[in-house]
Structure 1
Amino acid sequence: MIIESATPADLEKLLAFREEAASWLTALGTDQWRRPYPADKLRATIDAGVVFMVRDGATTAATITLTPEAEAGLWTERELAEPSMFVNKLTVARTHAGQDLGGRLLDWADDRAHRSGAVWLRLDAWTTNETLQSYYLRHGFDHVRTVTDGGAVNGGPRVSGWLAQRSTRLNSDHGLTDATDLPPAQPAHHLRTT
């Protein structure tokens, strides 16, 4: 399987991935991703070069967003001062479920983050999805804390505030052929405000 940077032509596939994942999550009893993701925000992340696609021949098998930008209100100033990369929107097509493709993508992200100078690979997960949280713990992440306030419009509860991290390391055992360019080292982190 090959991992490559997403292009604007992937937008519809990414939106369909999200919809497929939301349906599957609903069937599992979680409210994660029930609201449609705005296409313009997804397009902006594609244009920023932080969205990646895993291709299995002509089939798109998975996607991951890996960015140096943290979502506002989750990480402390001290944590943001540490070189880090952040995983978002990791999604595996149901056709490729059960093959630990998500774990391999996390290892690829770990390797990429390490090569760009990050010492931490960080993520935030849905606060009510304990199955997903356990998945990340099984893949070497440590729970940092859960942020439950300030995330939703009008001061409601934050829905994706379960924070976890793992130390980065060189990790070429992910088995993916990397057809991406390595990003430049990130001297400082920015807060994502959208």
Structure 2
Amino acid sequence: MQVKLSSHGYYIDHPDPEAGEQLMADALGVADRDAMNGILRQLVKASMNRQKPNAVTLSFMISMIRSIKPRDAVEAMLVAQMVSVHVMAMRSAYHLAKAEDIASQDSAGRALGRLARTFPAQMEALNRYRTSSEPAITVQNVSVQDGGNAIVGNVTQHTSVVVSDNSGAPAVTDAHMPEIPDRGAEAPDSVAAKRQAQA
């Protein structure tokens, strides 16, 4: 499945046009045909070189989007921006490499610097968005003694480790555990003394 350019715009090269559109929508991480066509039109314009869309650049951009695997419309838009910024950065690097005067070098160098700083910021935004939609596990007040084991989950009480389950209740630790006497472990001398006192 590829996107081909024509004199009238572009089309998805697939034996079954409807299946091709669905495959492309899935690859771009969008839900419907309108969103898919919107992203593709933007990519075609971003691929332009000397006033004409570039088929090789467009194929590269779509391939990169498919590799990153956007999972929804927000990620689809952000990833489309990321690949576009990368293409522009490489174009600026090319202009910088072939610049023959100071003004051209300065212009291409400034553009490359801005784009190179933008790309990692976009990556960070994508990572933040992806992790914000995943369930978080909050662990509080964990104390593991030498040779002990930590248990992560819904734990109500453990003599070495207490894990908060976000219930809002204060955690119970060893320092707050009430001492409970062991009746079966009384010293033999104290048992004998009690018997003598009862006799």
- Which of the pair has more CA radius of gyration? 2
With normalisation by structure 1, the TM-score equals: 0.25
Higher strand share: 1
With normalisation by structure 2, the TM-score equals: 0.24
Higher helix share: 2
**Looking at both structures, which has the greater relative contact order when contacts are Cα pairs under 8 Å and sequence separation is at least 6?**
1
